[in-house]
Amino acid sequence: MPIQELPTINLLIVGGGISGLLLSILLERKGYNTTLVEKSTEWKPIGGGITLTLNGVKMLQDIGLLDSIKPYANEISHVDITDQLGKKLSTFDLAGYAEAYAKTYTVLRHDMHHALISHLSDTRIHLGTSCTAIVDEGDKVKVSFTNKPECSYDLVVGCDGINSFVRRTLFGDKINDYCGYASWRFIAKGVKVQQDTLTEMWSVGKRFGIVPLKGNKIHCFASVNTQQNSEANKKISLHDFRVLFSCFGGYVPDLLGAIKNNCDLMYNDLEDVHLKQFYKGRLLLIGDAAHGMTPNMTQGASMAIEDAVVLAASLTDKWNIENSLKRFQSERWPRTRSIQKKSNLLGKIGQLKNPHLCRLRNYCWQRIPDRWIQNDLKKLLINSGPDLH
């Protein structure tokens, strides 16, 4: 008797970020009927730089996509934490993991998007399209759109970021948890920094990050303790921004001087998304929509990559969607929650606002053996990662 082919899944992906594009690629390979909607009208070169940590890079390597991203990427060999003047408090040596496990890279977000889009061929992509209503009807999910006819799907996956419409449909609005500080991001050009070193500098209630990119560009972030939704911070002048972070030394004065206009500053409150369940019925959340976290562990992109790979491996056919989502939940919730907690703790340490505690923090951090930090991160990023074999 011939083997009966399992019925394929008709699936909607909401959001064309890293998790949405990667999931589309992997489901194309499995022959699924996949539609992707993205609210932006075109694939614009927007956003700053991202860090692809070794756990995410290993996944990209295993699924054969890393080579298309590497031409845009800058390799990072060290992560340094310093005080506000650049005195080193600790260093994390990544070179030792490059051969044995995977490298760490930085890349502009839109360059990574470009690399991923080049792998898509059969996915139906609708730009400039948003969901207006999502109704789970049991065996199908009915979705209405801004400029596309209403349609029904076997599964809807929300990859639409920290302010996810799909998540609000499932669980309401009161999910995001403000972490007490906000961050400006900008891309600087023409400033010579250590190309293989990612640096985070700690001050009193402030931090400054230096993330070298390919092509003589540097992604910078500057965080400060502040009230949520500060209009003053959103409208800050370039002069006031430079004054606010004038306590930092090292490369920072040159990086601040390289900003041409205050419209180059991207400002965001930093928030966590706390959910105990990533799915309900035939709707699922992945990436920041499910577990948005502070960027202190630089794990946002890698968690999105892991989510997409694990979900694609879990899905089999339309009759087993519920079991597939249960498997995804049981594997991804403990993993992402542990990373989220660690990132939140690191942020609280870096954002301490009492000068005496900051001096004590720096004194103690400088005396923690680097190997302790390395072992802790190895356990978190490598030993606890997804096992797809």
- The predicted-structure confidence for 14-24, as pLDDT tens digits, reads as follows 999 999 999 99
Q: Specify the range with the lowest mean pLDDT, choosing from 148-157, 214-223, 239-248, 372-381.
A: 372-381
Looking at the predicted structure, is the pLDDT value of residue 132 above 80? yes
- The predicted-structure confidence for 313-369, as pLDDT tens digits, reads as follows 999 877 789 999 999 999 999 999 999 999 999 999 999 999 999 999 999 999 988
pLDDT value, residue 95: 85
**In which band, very low, low, confident or very high, does the pLDDT at 4 lie, cut at 50, 70 and 90?**
very low
pLDDT, mean of residues 244-256: 98
Looking at the predicted structure, is the pLDDT value of residue 192 above 90? yes
Q: 375: which 2 tokens?
A: 């072992």
**In which band, very low, low, confident or very high, does the pLDDT at 387 lie, cut at 50, 70 and 90?**
low
pLDDT, mean of residues 190-205: 97
Average confidence score pLDDT of the chain:
93
CB of 7 closer than 8 Å to CB of 319: yes
pLDDT value, residue 176: 87
pLDDT value, residue 383: 66
The full DSSP string for 160-199 is --TT-HHHHHHH-STTEEEEEEEEEEEEEES----TTEEE
87-to-245, 321, 360, 365 alpha-carbon distances in Å = 17, 53, 15, 12
What percent of the chain has a predicted confidence (pLDDT) above 90? 83
Query: Distance between the two ends of the chain, CA-based, in angstroms?
Result: 30
- The predicted-structure confidence for 66-89, as pLDDT tens digits, reads as follows 999 999 999 999 999 999 999 999
The full DSSP string for 23-62 is HHHHHHHTT-EEEEEESSSS----S-EEEE-HHHHHHHHH
Looking at the predicted structure, is the pLDDT value of residue 1 above 50? no
pTM of the model as a whole: 0.94
Half-sphere exposure of 271 (CA within 13 A, CB side): 22
Give burial (CB, 10 Å; 0-12/13-18/19+) of 168: middle
Q: Which residue has the higher pLDDT, 262 or 247?
A: 247
The full DSSP string for 311-339 is HHHH---GGGHHHHHHHHHHHHHHHHHHH
pLDDT value, residue 38: 96
